[in-house]
Structure formats: C-alpha cells, structure tokens
Structure 1
Amino acid sequence: MTESELYYLAGKCLVLEERPEFKHQLIQLCKNDLIDWITFIKICSENLVLPAIYLKLRAQKIFDYMPEEVVEHLSEIYELNKKRNIEILHQIKSITALLKAENIVPLYMKGAGNLLDDIYSDVGERVMGDIDFLVPEQDFLTAAVAMLDAGYLSWSDTTKITIRDHQHYPRIYHPDFVADVELHRIPNEYKCDNWFNAKMVLDEKKRAGKDGGCFVESDKHKIIHNFIHSQLDHQGFSLGKVLLRDIYDVYLTSRRISLNDLLPEIKTKKKAIAYFAFTDLVFGAERQIFHKQNFAFQTLKTKRDLNLNSNIFYKTNKALVVGYTNIRYQKGYFGMFIEAFHSKEMRQFIFHKLTSRSFYRKHFKKVQSELSDE
C-alpha cells in the first residue's frame, strides 16, 4: 500500500465503530499481510493519532489479527499519552486556580479546551502539545506576571514585552509540570478580526465540562479556530498538509454542530469548503457530514496525496510556499515603515525591533525551520 492509501486507512480506523462495513475489510487486509505496519505507524505518528488508533482497534478486537509487536507498541504509546494527559489536566487545574486569585478566568483553546469539554471518549485519546488559553487583553500582562511569579519560566527575553508584539506571550514552562503554556490575547495569527476575534470567542464562551471553574470555546468557534489554525495560520492549504488529528477534532465536534450550518460564519469560504470536504472524504460516507465540494478541495486532496507519495514534490512545494510567504512578510514591513511617518508608537516599535538581536535570530531560525524537514 502507498503512503497515501495508508493515510486514508488510518482515517477509516478512526471511525471504525461508525463504519462497521470497514471492519471486515480491515481484518482481511491484516490476514493477507497487506499492511506495511512500520509505514502505517510512521504516518499515524506524524499525524498525531497513534493513541486514538490504538483505542479504535482495541474496541473492535482487531488486535487478534495484528502482529504482537505492533499491538505492544501501540499500547505503550497510548499508556504514555494517557499518563501525560492526566498530568496536563492537573496542570490546567493549577493554572485556573492561580489566575482566579487574580480575578482572571482563563478560556482554554484547541486540544486543552477539547479535553476539558469531553470531546474525546478517553482521556488518553488525544495527543497534546502545549496548553493554550485566552484571557481578555486588559488581563494579558497581569496573567503573564502571575504565571512567572508562580515559577513559570520563559525560553525568551520577557523584559521588554509589549502587547503589540505578540499574539501570545512567549512560550513558558514550569519545571514541575509536563506541558509548555501559551497565554493568548488573541486566538490566532491569521488576520481575520472582522469574522473571528478574541471578543467573539469570549462573548460566546461556555463553561468547561470537566471543570466549571474555567471556560472553553463554543462548539462553533472550536471548528472555526481549528480551520484557521490548520489551514491559514500554518498554511495547511498552501502546503497540502492536513493532520489527521486536526480533522478528527473537526469530525468529533461536528457531532454537536453542523459544518454546513457554520460555513456562513467563515469569510475564506473556498478554503473552508476544501477543508470540511476533505474531512468528510476521510471520515464521512457520501458527503454525510459536509455536503459541498469545490476546486479548492480537489487541489488540497491532490497536494496532500502528492506530499505523501513524493518527497520531491513536498520539498519543492514547501520551498515555493515559504519563499512566497517571506516576500509577503517583507511587504508588511514596508507598510509599517509608511505608518511610522505619522505614528510615534510605530516608530518606537520599529526602533525596538531593529535594535533587538532576538528579532534577527527569530527570523533566521523561522526560515531555517520552515525549510527543514518536519
């Protein structure tokens, strides 16, 4: 099987309990030794779904037809992830209590928000990175100071932090906890203030299912934020990159709210249609969860498949996207210099940037990392 075929096989495994007709096909693939398990595990790992795959295969008793060493590996990964997620929930509880002492109630986003809001059937199902949470902008620096006073440390120089500099405070960590933390004043980097912004998210927040002392995004905003983060912030559409973990989150949340109904809330509709249609392709059945397709969907699918089956295409396309992005970025700087002619604040901002060594290091490392293999 090609890497592209194994990618879609992993997607089917994630909805195995809802696609009983596929169970027999999967058992036959196992019996006939048609699955390259090493490559399958590699793809599932890269797409951050190994623990979820383990749970689905275990529930449907597929382990009886799989190599013992594969089952043992999946089990070990799941147990490690479950332990880490339990520790992350403990860390979230600590953060919430810490900020409540400052009369600040955090709103947890992305994986942390989903974990708190009972999106998953098992605490070990979702691979977590860092903990993202949002606070009102007027509480942004107060919350950051409270975190630092409580023993959190930063990888960056935080002595000259201004609100204008950051979507989120520089990443922080605590020696006694497992996850890094990103404290946000706005939910995402992509410029979409007129249709998705901090005020909207905070206005429609809801209390977390596992901890009434904090908030999470509404189901509608979970999906919209997921799309923006995956396809716009991280240029998933341009790169032809769709993590199974991301669209699995969309799929699970779509059980609560229709993807078709929330599409009018999104301004970049062509890319949103492509993303939702791709989610339906991987997890749905005959456009079961999303009814539309478009040319952008075909483009995204084609690039996704070529990325999986051709390393040359992946690297070439990535280099073109990074190069184009950097050209646009420089144009943005040009506009800032124009604004500086009539804005003292902008002049001070530019002076601070151009005299900061970390500014140059940051952008050199950004280009370097974008061109390197992930």
Structure 2
Amino acid sequence: MSYKETLFFVAKCLTISLEDKNFLIVKDKIVKGSVDWDAIVKVSTAHFVFPALYCNLKRKELLQFLPEDLVAYMKHIITLNNERNLQIIQQAKQLDFLLKENNIHPVFLKGTAFLLQGFYEEISERMVGDIDFIVSPEVYEDTIQILKKNGYTNKDHLLNTVKIGNHYPRLVHENKIAAVEIHFRILKPPYDKSFTYETVKNNISKTAENSYVLNYDHQVLHTIFNKQASDYGYWYKTISLRNNYDLFLLSKKTNTLQAIKKYNRHFTILNTFLASSSYIFNHISSIHFVNNKKAATFIKHQIKFLDFPKKMNANKKIWNFYFENKSRLRKLKLAFVNKNMRKHLLHLIFKR
C-alpha cells in the first residue's frame, strides 16, 4: 500500500461506526487480507488516531481478522491512553473547581473539552496532549497566579509578560500528567479578531458536571482554524486525520456549513477544510460545504502532494520561510514598545 492508499484506508476506518458504505469497503479489504498493517500502524500513529482506529474496528467486530500480535499491541496502547485520559479528566475537573472557587469560569478547549463533554463513545478514543482553556481577559493574570500558587510552574522567561501567540507559556505540575495552557485568545492573530472570548461567551455549553466548553458550532470553527490557520494547513496543503476525525464527529452534531457562514472573511480557509474532510472520508454526506472551484483546487493540491512528497516538502519550506520571517518582523515591531521583548531579542542576538 502506498502512503496515499494507507492514509485513505485509515480515514475510512475512522468512519465505519457511523458510515455503512465505508464499513463494507473496509471489511472487504480486511477479510481479503490485502491490508499492510505495518503501514496502517505507522500512518495512524503519526496522525494521532491509532486509538480511534482500534475503537472503530472493535465496535464493528473486525479485530478477529487482524493479526493477534497487532491486536495485543493495540489493546496495550488503548489501556495506556485510557489511563492517561482519565487522569487528564480528573486534572481538568480539579482545575475547574479551583478556579471556580475564585469566581473564575474557565472554558475548556480542544481535546480536553471533548473528553469532559463525553464527546467520544470511548474515553480512550482521543489522544490529548495539554489541557487548554480560556478565561475572561479581566481574570487572565489572576488565573496564572492561582495556578502558580497551587504548584504549577514554568521556566522564568522574559516573555512571560508578553502576549505572543494565543496562550501563556505552558505550566506544569510535578504531580500532574498534563501541561496546562491558559489562553488569552482562542486563535493567533489575525484570526482572533472575529473569533474571540467575547463572541463565544454568550453561547457556551455546559457538560453534565457543569464544566464550560464551546458549543458545537464554535468547536467546528476552532477545529478548522487550528489546522488551517494555526498549523498553516491551508498553505501547506497537509492532512491531519485527528482534526478531520473531530470534524467528522462534529458533523453528526451540527451543520458544518452553517457553522462557518458567519465568517465570510475567512470562508475559503474554513470551507476548503470541510471539502477536504468530506473527500478524505469518501464523500461523507454529513459534512456540508460549498463545492466551488477553490475547494476543488485545494483538494487537487493535497492529492498532488501525497503523490509527490518532495513537492510537498518544497512547498512547506517556502511557506515556512515566509511565516518565520513574518513572525520575526512582528516581534521586531513589538520590541519598539515592549522592554522585555527588546531584552529577549538582544539576548538572542548576543547568544549567537
């Protein structure tokens, strides 16, 4: 199996619990013994969907057709991820309680939010790194100090007081499993202008245990923006199955096209991800999008880069150069008005 064939097969596997046509395709290929499982493990692991792959195969009773040693390995990874996610949920609930005691109401984001709201059929299905949440700008500094008083630390840095990116430098606790990122904005500039704490605060959803998370429409937006804008996926034309899988599940909860329609300024960035996700998952009907020329061109480039990895790497290098220099210019401008940024840049210059 080529990389492209493997990627699209993994993608289909992720949908088989909810999409009968893909289940039939996947089952036929597995039963015939025409699957390169080494390639499947490699690709699904690289895309952080190995646990989700296992969960879908188990739910549809396809594990019996897999090599025994592979199933044993899958079960081992699932057990580890389940234990980790249970600890992350516990840690997030402790943070929620701690902050609410101080009249601060965090809104959990990304993977942690999905775990707290029981979004996945199984806790072990999602791989989660950090605990992300955003708070009101008025209590942002207080939130940092509360966590630090309760054992969370980060390395002292000149830029701790400078708002670069979209969150405070990662905080860790020696007795906790996950690092914590306190967001002062949901997205990096310039996408933060139209999708902010102020625009989402009146439509927050509550979990069964009264933790706050974004509503489904806003989770659609956040999922897409994270890949397309924050990770430069719109320019790199790369695929991230974890983001695509989250979007697929969200499409079963809300109308994806309606979720992005308010954001005309960034409509192409958002719509191309919807179109790409539908294509990757074998034209899923629940993922609504506008099938226009820009969407078709975006997908065409993604496929080309899968067929010619060297072209994809060259494209990434070009855009990396652009974005890195854009970031340097932004920091240089900030240095004119921020003392700590000036010190940071001088430190970098003389360190070399």
Offset at 1:180?
0.8
Q: Aligned letter for 1:162?
A: T
1:27 counterpart residue number: 27
Q: What does 1:147-296 align with in structure 2 at a 5 Å threshold?
A: 147-154=147-154, 156-158=155-157, 161-162=160-161, 164-165=163-164, 167-209=166-208, 211-212=209-210, 214-266=211-263, 267-283=265-281, 285=283, 287-296=285-294
Using the TM superposition, name which of 321-330 and 267-276 deviates more.
321-330
Change (3 A) 1:353 1:333: closer
Offset of residue 231 of structure 1? 0.4
- C-alpha displacement of 1:306: 4.1
Shift of 1:63: 1.3
CA distance in 2, matches of 1:93, 1:358: 41
Range with bigger deviation, 117-126 or 300-309: 300-309
Q: Can you give the 5+ residue segments of structure 1 that lack an aligned partner in the other structure?
A: 341-345, 365-374
Instruction: Report the AA paired with residue 139 of structure 2.
Output: D
The one-letter amino acid paired with 1:256 is K
Judging changes above 3 Å, is the alpha-carbon distance between structure 1 residues 331 and 175 closer, same or farther for their aligned structure 2 residues?
A: closer
CA–CA separation in structure 1 for the residues paired with 2:20 and 2:326: 48
Q: Tell me, what secondary structure is at the counterpart of 1:95?
A: helix
* Residue 331 of structure 1, CA deviation: 4.3
2:321 aligns with 323
Change (3 A) 1:277 1:353: same
Is the CA contact 1:205–1:218 (under 8 Å) kept in the aligned structure 2?
yes
Secondary structure of the residue aligned to 1:132 is strand
CA contact (8 A) 1:41 1:50 kept: yes
Say if 1:190 and 1:232, in contact at 8 Å, map to a contact too. no
Q: How does 1:1-374 map to 2 (within 5 A)?
A: 1-154=1-154, 156-158=155-157, 161-162=160-161, 164-165=163-164, 167-209=166-208, 211-212=209-210, 214-266=211-263, 267-283=265-281, 285=283, 287-333=285-331, 336=334, 340=336, 346=337, 349=338, 351-356=339-344, 360=348
String of CA shifts for 1:89-141, please: whole Å, max 9, x gaps: 11011111221222111110011111112221111111101000011111111
- For the 8 Å contact 2:251–2:287, the answer to whether it is kept is yes
Superposition deviation, residue 147 in structure 1: 0.7
2:182 partner SS: strand
Partner Cα separation in structure 1 for residue 224 and residue 113 of structure 2:
15
Percent identity, aligned pairs only, is: 23
The answer to whether the Cα contact below 8 Å between 1:239 and 1:303 also exists between their aligned partners in 2 is no
Look up the SS of the partner of 1:356 in the other structure. helix
Give the Cα–Cα distance (whole angstroms) in 2 for the partners of residues 7 and 29 of structure 1. Answer: 14
Letter of the aligned partner of 1:196 in structure 2? Answer: F
Q: Where in structure 1 do 4 or more consecutive aligned residues deviate above 4 Å?
A: 333-337
Q: TM-score, normalising length from structure 2?
A: 0.91
Alignment RMSD (CA, Å): 2.4
TM-score normalized by structure 1? 0.86
Single out whichever of 78-87 and 300-309 deviates more from structure 2. Answer: 300-309
State how far apart, in whole Å, the 2-side matches of 1:24 and 1:160 are: 53
Query: Conserved in 1, the CA contact under 8 Å of 2:15 and 2:22?
Result: no
- C-alpha distance in structure 1 between counterparts of 2:141 and 2:174, whole Å: 21
Shift of the alpha carbon at 1:28?
3.0
* Equivalent position SS for 1:16: coil
Unaligned 5+ residue runs, structure 2?
A: none
